[in-house]
Structure 1
């Protein structure tokens, strides 16, 4: 069972490889058809079949801050991955886990995380990945809301999990992975020891629930998005395109993206396991130097790096290939706009054109760029050219548009809400869609515009689509604001600021103003070796004023040690915006008024 993207069905002129700027977006869309079997199980597709076909091949290369783990070279084979998954699946069945039950996974990038997901899927249960960065309150909310009965965690999350248990009364069993001091739960090694593995994954419908992922909460309380098994198939065109026709012989993948989030699970771990590409799991804090060293040592060819990571790498190591032997052939980025400064640096310093991607938990991997795809002749051919500053065009199989408040497609060049239609360009159902929000039918209905069978799913992100179908990101719909009557998209101003050598990162928000409604304010993280002072403020203002429209330059700049971020690497402008609103209220309060 391998319903991979059918690139061989697309029209392919014989001279594709001769023109590096060739644009075959229309041909790829027109020739592509989804292949979604009625019965599909992620565990069978990502684990069981490879254990039978290529048991000795490496599935995961694992290491922590001290070096390789899970064997002398850090390698876990396909056979061992499935053996452990089968043993854990049998153990979960003995613990009473039934089809559709939620099982929480609170672990970083380690082999046991992959084992846990496959085991849960294999018995028809629903895996619920949770970040090890969550505190007790965040864990308790999600555990209680999901009604999870079992949680699997390691030492990095165990203390927070134990504190969260009091607020999650249905959670009766905790499984401890590795050394967990003072734990009160079942040891992973004891649970699997001598356990006879199940041999085959359960035959689940492609539409059955597989994963429950809670949104990052950038626009309100986190909601659980229920993801079906088929959604992995819906992610494949985006993964293959953004990774320049992955898999190719010798491909090795690594990303610092947390496997607890869509970006790490659906954009990295599961596609790699599905396509048979070895993936590196690193259990250590991200640093630019560590990233380059790891990519050199494992001969990484494909990666997904958040814009925040790329910015840090660009500032810390401007010329990385002078220090490391890199084998990169594809870099994908998502989460925020990359911007032309980082785009140019990837071109020149990494020797790879970054492929931006756009999607969200509910409808992932729908828009982006494609450096290459593999034709029926076995050769790599150009997909469509990336444009600096654009997040790309719809991937094959997805019908994407910019729509207005009434659900009508906006004229090209007019800002609107990026949306995905339930049907592809051929009128067939798009498999990438989530099933709905967990216990939130109202929120699920609000996500769509139109009839249930013929509707648009809104992303809540504002963009402009140009005449060629490229999307130009302006920000979250609630991030875009008006200042003195002008519409301001924060990402353009932030990108301009980051191009200045003194700026490591920046976030732009409105500062309430009694006369103009709002003015542009920038929060700036100063790069190492530069001084935050009034002279730099003036220099940065002049830098932006000389490159963008006069109304876009920041009237106020505040230096900050670090921007508020979600655990997925997105800037939380909402936090800064609320801070500005609080300050405005304080300024407008009568002098000497009582404080409640």
Structure 2
């Protein structure tokens, strides 16, 4: 770990200084309906970032100040990050999908001084700007805005394309990124510059060496990276954009929504070799194109996936139809890229989370903070110190303005402690971890401990199912029963829509069929006693299923039914 370290320096500035790499492609922009992509070199990114850094400094932004980045995947987003970091300021990534309340809370809590927006996200920021007193300036990097927004295309013309960067320590804060907020308000995790170094062993392993030859250091990577992951959340930023640029390779910026058919076309057009595809994307691609290599020329060398358990159905699809063994990865905003698979280094076990990536110390702990035996379920925890006894660089600095929450995240002495993730897993004799769900997703039904992931994966193997989520439904006799929310594939949904009476003619047979499908593969107590068909599952902006939303919905329904039920001694019940 170097004492002085800056993400902008290692991801862009060093490549822009070298004649050979300065003209190499860094960002390849593409979008639906585009006649041709736009390629931006490392020199382009560096010079535009220098102009923006000069502008931010003129606007009074100083080291440590927070700058909100409210932008989708595009060239200007990469420029914005580099401009903020070489100034010594802190980037606050905010998704373009955030509504007014989510934007306002994060802008207020971070006390962001400036917001960088485009023609899509600018209106949302402007709508809440009056209620964010710390927000002094809004810069529109693209598009036309009113006089209250700084017009960057016009302002940039008079700014120098050289900039003397601020000298940052490795421990200086670089990113303030907010967690999903499944319980209470979202917490801002403060990520230091050094966290990028902590991510690299996991990135290289999950991407099967990223095109480098481990036996010959002279072999230069030919990797081209793409992921639909938003560059304003941890997966898109720390697992895609930054490590790709760190190794001097190009990343594709898709200026459009994710579509499974468009994804295959993009992989072919740009000869993408490495990708990060979350399970929901892989499921959609699997259902849309069961035999992709019959229709597309693919060049994939590695697929990393994270966010939810992939499951053996998707694992088999990637292996058999895409020709790549998918490497599942596990991490959190606070401690990213700590566990996963690497087909180049250890055999992949379908459905497993993998093993601790090189350097990190990982264990499964019980409620008292003690390691659990092999085969038992415990909470995934990561030690502050790596396998060499040094402080692990992957760790966050703490929660913004919330010391109590920071302390609660750790078990043990501050200098020799475990960081608890809230995710459950079991470990086999070979050291592989098997995801069992969030600690608050696991429930008991009729005395049995139920983890939703295995049931959801089983349902997904049925041709009618596009996606599924399993939660407990309150039951007065058994405490809870297993309930599944199922999203049908377009073909099955269309069949259902053509029925004159779908409740009577279509649903009961399919419910019974899905129940039998699970009964024949899992334990008898795991099959869903009730199945409800819905158009879409509630998802976080990072692509994770919000089972908590469905669980609370079922609890509310149960309360309403209980209130409407006559008392036990009501004579009308006799």
After TM superposition, the score normalised by the length of structure 2 is 0.93
Shift of 1:579: 0.1
After superposition, give the CA deviation of every residue in 1:364-397 in whole Å (9 maximum; x if it has no partner). Answer: 000001122xxxxxxxxxx001111111100001
The 2-side partners of 1:191 and 1:111 are apart by 18
| Kept in 2: contact 1:41–1:201 (CA 8 A) | no
1:124-148, Cα deviation, whole Å (9 max, x unpaired): 0000110000011110000000000
Inter-partner Cα distance in structure 2 for 1:257 and 1:218:
20
Pair 1:339-2:311 in alignment: yes
Q: Shift in Å at residue 182 of structure 1?
A: 4.4
Residues 141-192 of structure 1, C-alpha deviation per residue, up to 9 Å, x if partnerless? 0000000010001122112111111221111100012113546300121232
Counterpart of 1:400 in structure 2 is: 362
Out of 27, 45, 53, the residue aligned to residue 60 of structure 1 is 27
Q: Distance in 1 between matches of 2:184 and 2:322?
A: 37
Deviation by residue 1:530-567 (Cα, 9 ceiling, x = unmatched): 24511110000000011000010000000000000001
2:7 to 21, 42, 54: 42
Cα distance in 2 for residues equivalent to 1:564 and 1:183: 38
Q: Can you give the 5+ residue segments of structure 1 that lack an aligned partner in the other structure?
A: 1-35, 373-382
Segment drifting more, 353-362 vs 215-224: 215-224
Which residue of 174, 177, 182 corresponds with 1:210? 174
Match of 1:228 in 2: 192
8 Å CA contact 1:98, 1:123 repeated in 2 = yes
Pick from 327, 338, 350 the counterpart of residue 355 of structure 1. 327
The 3-state SS of whatever aligns with 2:561 is helix
Pick from 502, 520, 526: which aligns with 1:552? 526
Q: CA offsets, 1:484-523, max 9 Å, x none? A: 1111110000000001111000000000011111000000
Out of 128, 151, 155, which is 1:164 matched to? Answer: 128
- Pick from 521, 538, 553: which aligns with 1:564? 538
SS in 2 for 1:331: strand
Instruction: Indicate if the aligned counterparts of 2:53 and 2:163 stay in contact, CA closer than 8 A.
Output: no
Once residues 355 and 25 of structure 2 are traced to their aligned partners in structure 1, the CA distance between those partners, rounded to angstroms, is 34
Contact in 1 for aligned 2:73/2:231 (Cα 8 Å): yes
* CA distance in 2: counterparts of 1:180 and 1:456, whole angstroms: 49
Task: Give the corresponding residue for 2:452.
Answer: 490
For residues 271-286 of structure 1, the aligned pairs below 5 Å read 271-286=243-258
Does residue 397 of structure 2 align to residue 435 of structure 1?
yes
Provide the rounded CA distance (Å) in 2 between the counterparts of 1:187 and 1:64: 24
Question: What SS is found at the alignment partner of 2:120?
Answer: helix
SS of alignment partner, residue 479 of structure 1: coil
Deviation of residue 405 (structure 1)?
1.4
Structure 1 residue aligned with 2:39: 75
Aligned counterparts of 1:515 and 1:83: Cα–Cα separation in 2: 67
* Native 8 Å contact 1:107 1:260 kept in 2: yes
CA deviation after TM superposition for structure 1 residue 193, in Å: 1.3
Secondary structure at 1:350 match in 2: coil
Distance 2:491 2:564 in 1: 42
Which structure has more relative contact order (CA 8 Å, sep 6+)? It is: 1
Give the Cα separation in 1 of the matches to 2:566 and 2:386.
61
CA distance in 1: counterparts of 2:468 and 2:37, whole angstroms: 40
Q: Distance in 1 between matches of 2:565 and 2:229?
A: 48
Q: What is the CA-CA distance between 1:591 and the residue it aligns to?
A: 5.0
Q: Equivalent residue for 1:512? A: 474
1-structure distance, mates of 2:124, 2:159: 29
Which of 40, 50, 60 aligns to 1:96? It is 60
Residue 125 in 1 paired to residue 97 in 2? no
CA distance in 2 between partners of 1:261 and 1:278 (Å):
19
Structure 2 residue 537 is matched with structure 1 residue 575: no
Q: Are residues 1:299 and 2:271 paired?
A: yes
Conserved 8 A contact 1:176-1:183: no
**1:456-471 matches, cutoff 5 A:** 456-471=418-433
- Is residue 145–residue 151 contact of structure 2 (8 Å, CA) maintained in 1? no
Say if 1:128 and 1:212, in contact at 8 Å, map to a contact too: yes
Post-superposition offset of 1:426: 2.1
SS at structure 2 position matched to 1:79: helix
**Aligned-partner SS, 2:470:** strand
- Cα deviation for residue 220 of structure 1 reads 3.0
**Matching residue within 556, 559, 569 for 1:585:** 559
Instruction: Tell me, in whole angstroms, the C-alpha distance in 1 between the residues paired with 2:164 and 2:372.
Output: 49
Does the aligned pair in 2 maintain the 1:89–1:197 contact within 8 Å?
no
Provide closer, same or farther for how the CA distance between residues 337 and 446 of structure 1 changes in structure 2, counting only shifts above 3 A: same
Q: CA deviation at 1:526?
A: 0.7
Residue of structure 2 in register with 1:135 after alignment: 99
Structure 2 Cα separation of the partners of residues 435 and 179 of structure 1: 36
Q: Distance in 1 between matches of 2:118 and 2:427?
A: 45
Cα deviation digits, residues 5-48 of structure 1 (max 9, x gap): xxxxxxxxxxxxxxxxxxxxxxxxxxxxxxx1010000111111
1:528 to partner: Cα distance:
1.9
**Contact 2:341–2:354, Cα closer than 8 Å, also in 1:** yes
> Counterparts of 1:442 and 1:575 in 2: how far apart (Å)?
26
1:64 Cα deviation from its structure 2 partner:
2.1
Find the counterpart in structure 2 of residue 115 from structure 1. Answer: 79
CA RMSD of aligned residues (A): 1.3
**SS at 1:246's partner residue?**
helix
Q: Is the 8 A contact 2:224 2:251 kept in 1?
A: yes
